[in-house]
Amino acid sequence: MPYQNTYEEIAILLPYKEKFSPNNFGSVSLYVKDINEKSKFNKKIKIFVNKTSKTFKGFKSVNVPKKLNHLFFGKNMGHTKTFINILKEKPPKIIEIHNRPKSALEISKSSLKSKIFLYYHNDPLAFKNCSSVKQRLEILRSCHHIFFVSNFLKKRFLIDLPGGTHFKSKLDVIYNGVTPTKQLIFKKKKLNIVYVGELEKKKGFDIFLQSAIEIINQFPGWEVHIFGKIKEENKRYIYKHNRIIFHDFKENNFVIEFLKKSSISIIPSVWDEPFGRTLIESINSGTATISSNKGGLKEINKFFKTFIINKIDKKTIYIALKKLIMSNDERSYYSNNNVSKSPFTLNKITQILDKYRHEIFSKN
């Protein structure tokens, strides 16, 4: 019997490196928090994480401590094996694994009878030892459902897989999402440009900074605000200018409130973004948003008025910024979007996920 000896619970396993705290979180943790806050199964959920600080409010967390497994099998696989041992006495109906297909395979081979949901937050073809056709077919066989944060990632997963496979019914997209917010009156917004994200070349940060320096020198009434963890190797990017302000890491709510009061947000990614959380948050905040069209960003852009740059370089970014700075009408146009009519609202996204959970909990 598939549900024999399982309990009315959902165990969510985060990657070893992820913390589930308002003071220390990654993009996966933020996604898990957002899509589960309003879930009708919220009280049945336990988050399994290597805890070092307080948990997000409204959630139960279970510590997955470092053990000999971590030494013998590596951090993520040791994390997974310890997780399996914790669950043996009380296996849940559903185990949800985020961004670790190898962990999903390991759990499927254990004695646990739980149904496995696997979530991809990154390119399925970029996971070592889990990207070949054979390995992806094994993942499909092992998981009850597989979710992707964008159609772009789902299509990547399906590359070269047999066209007629019935396993495709196991696949679905569960986006990152936002709660539609009331936007600040256009005239009350500060004259600033905001960048939120990793300070890395793949994000186009180095190119943006070059353009920002030029723009800020040309328009003295404007400021540039940069939110992102400043790693040692990125300190060379910090430009000593009194109107280019680096904020380092800030809580997500702080950043959202800052975006609401801002005029322009930019997402100049040069790599294929798995989704584009900053893009949908910027749109929802009512900022005029400049974006590349790479990877999952394209799926978001098609629903909204965004200033799209197809070729990211210093010149194209400079032109886009200058155009918005010099025209109130342009900024107003690109600020005026309605997220509630899009598929990116948390209510819609949570309902999709809960439908799959309900299928499991409704069976004996």
Please say if the pLDDT value at position 5 is more than 80. Answer: no
Domain boundaries, the chain: 7-177+345-361, 186-341
Residue 2 has pLDDT above 60, yes or no: no
Please write the tens of the pLDDT for every residue from 226-236: 998 877 766 66
What kind and span of H or E run contains 7?
strand 7-13
Token readout for 266 is 């930019």
Question: pLDDT tens for residues 196-210?
Answer: 999 999 999 999 999
Q: What percent of the chain has pLDDT over 90?
A: 79
- Pairing type for strands 190-196 and 171-173 reads unpaired
Counts of helices then strands in the chain (DSSP H, E): 13, 15
What is the dihedral sign for C-alpha 161, 296, 178, 31?
positive
First to last CA, the chain: 9
Taking residues 164-173, report their average pLDDT. Answer: 84
- DSSP designation for 182: P
> What span, in angstroms and rounded, lies between the C-alpha atoms of 87 and 107?
11
pLDDT band, residue 147 (cuts 50/70/90) = very high
Find the mean pLDDT for residues 80-88: 94
What is the DSSP code string of 260-310?
A: HTEEEEEE---S--SS-HHHHHHHHHT-EEEEE--TTHHHHHTTS--EEES
- The SS3 of residue 348 is helix
Q: Report the residue count for the chain.
A: 364
Backbone angles phi, psi at 98, to 5 degrees: -110, 115
The domain 186-341 having CATH identifier 3.10.20.810: the answer here is no
Question: Please, what is the average pLDDT of the chain?
Answer: 92
3-state secondary structure of 201: helix
Q: What is the pLDDT of residue 137?
A: 94
Does residue 154 surpass a pLDDT of 50? yes
Per-residue pLDDT tens digits for 6-62: 899 999 999 999 999 988 888 999 999 999 999 999 999 999 998 777 899 999 999
Q: What is the distance of C-alpha 64 from the center of its chain?
A: 23
Q: Fold identical between 7-177+345-361 and 186-341?
A: yes
pLDDT tens per residue, range 290-325: 999 999 999 999 999 999 999 999 999 999 999 999
pLDDT reported for residue 1: 37
Residue 3 banded pLDDT, cuts 50, 70, 90: very low
Residue 234's pLDDT is 61
pLDDT for the residue 237 = 63
Mean pLDDT of 122-142: 95
Inter-helix orientation angle 205-218/314-326, to 10° = 40
Task: State which fold the 7-177+345-361 domain adopts.
Answer: Rossmann fold (3.40.50)
pLDDT at 101 over 90: yes
Residue 89 in tokens: 């006495």
